[in-house]
């Protein structure tokens, strides 16, 4: 959240959605916009993974496997998050750390929703360049925030966010890159702008040494093979037990209404993962503001 240059993880996530489009969760997941947000060189790996032809080169194989696993994770959690957005049906949607998220361009049911995308200025500027002349289906406001220097609450207010109306907050794929103190600080900030009936949907990891070792091994292999490492500048800084996160959310006025593992969500979406990296420690929760 405090990067000084555009996030490479955002590109990996977008590539994952492009790989999954039309291949995973058919009838539940679709993101035809994702591929249009990628540069030609980024589409090459997407095309390779979609072909199903496993490369022989060690380096390409590592990148291929990383993107294949990412596509599975993205399809599963995107289905669940989109369902939570539709169920809340709030007039405002705020996407924290939006990256190359395409909901404002691919979900016609958001046509009456005001969307605020909050992200680092560098990442947001790059996204707007990638969008070109593509028109959104919803009223969208870009909110550039350098979390090391700027106030998110002030920036949202300036952008027109109405704290008297219910908001759905999407916090996807960001929590592990923040310290516990930064997570608490962000929750405090968004709570001040959450009217009753607001909903927070977030993804988070639970403690898992096996996954952490595997992640470090993948980064090392990518580096040794000379392939790009999108995780290089974004180390994981926190993990949470469900009870600890529920307690923190309650302290800021949010009651957890659902907390499910990615595996259970994959079963519900009828997606059978081919990779163990559909994280056993990955969770997605929804929490509502009742007062």
Question: Model pTM?
Answer: 0.90
Average pLDDT, 10 consecutive residues per value, the chain (291 residues) = 61 96 94 96 96 91 89 95 97 97 97 97 94 96 90 96 98 92 95 98 84 58 65 77 97 97 91 66 93 80
Say what the pLDDT of residue 291 is.
Answer: 80
Q: Where are the domains of the chain?
A: 8-289
Say what the pLDDT of residue 281 is.
Answer: 74
Tokens of 32: 């035809």
3-state SS assignment for residue 257: strand
Say what the pLDDT of residue 1 is.
Answer: 39
**CA distance linking residue 12 with residue 19, whole number of Å:** 10
Domain 8-289 belongs to what topology? Answer: Rossmann fold (3.40.50)
Say what the pLDDT of residue 3 is.
Answer: 44
Strands 254-261 and 199-205: unpaired
Strands 254-261 and 282-289: antiparallel
Say what the pLDDT of residue 216 is.
Answer: 59
């Amino acid at each position: 959240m405090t990067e000084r240059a555009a996030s490479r993880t955002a590109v990996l996530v977008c590539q994952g959605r492009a790989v999954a489009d039309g291949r995973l969760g058919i009838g539940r997941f679709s993101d035809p916009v994702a591929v249009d947000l990628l540069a030609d060189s980024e589409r090459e790996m997407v095309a390779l993974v979609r072909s199903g032809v496993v490369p022989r080169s060690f380096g390409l194989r590592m990148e291929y496997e990383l993107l294949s696993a990412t596509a599975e994770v993205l399809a599963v959690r995107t289905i669940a998050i989109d369902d939570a957005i539709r169920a809340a049906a709030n007039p405002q949607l705020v996407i924290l750390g939006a990256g190359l998220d395409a909901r404002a361009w691919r979900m016609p049911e958001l046509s009456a929703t005001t969307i605020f995308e909050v992200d680092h200025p560098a990442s947001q500027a790059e996204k707007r360049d990638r969008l070109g002349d593509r028109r959104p289906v919803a009223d969208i406001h870009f909110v550039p925030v350098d979390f090391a220097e700027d106030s998110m609450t002030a920036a949202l207010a300036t952008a027109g966010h109405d704290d008297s109306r219910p908001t759905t907050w999407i916090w996807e794929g960001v929590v592990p890159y923040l310290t516990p103190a930064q997570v608490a600080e962000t929750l405090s900030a968004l709570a001040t702008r959450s009217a009753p009936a607001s909903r927070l949907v977030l993804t988070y990891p639970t403690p898992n040494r096996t996954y952490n070792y595997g992640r470090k091994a993948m980064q090392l292999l990518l580096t040794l093979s000379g392939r790009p490492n999108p995780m290089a500048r974004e180390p994981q800084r926190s993990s949470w037990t469900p009870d600890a996160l529920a307690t923190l959310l309650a302290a800021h006025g949010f009651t957890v209404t659902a907390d499910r593992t990615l595996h259970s969500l994959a079963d519900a979406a009828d997606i059978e993962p081919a990779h163990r990296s559909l994280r056993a420690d990955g969770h997605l929760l929804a929490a509502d503001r009742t007062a």
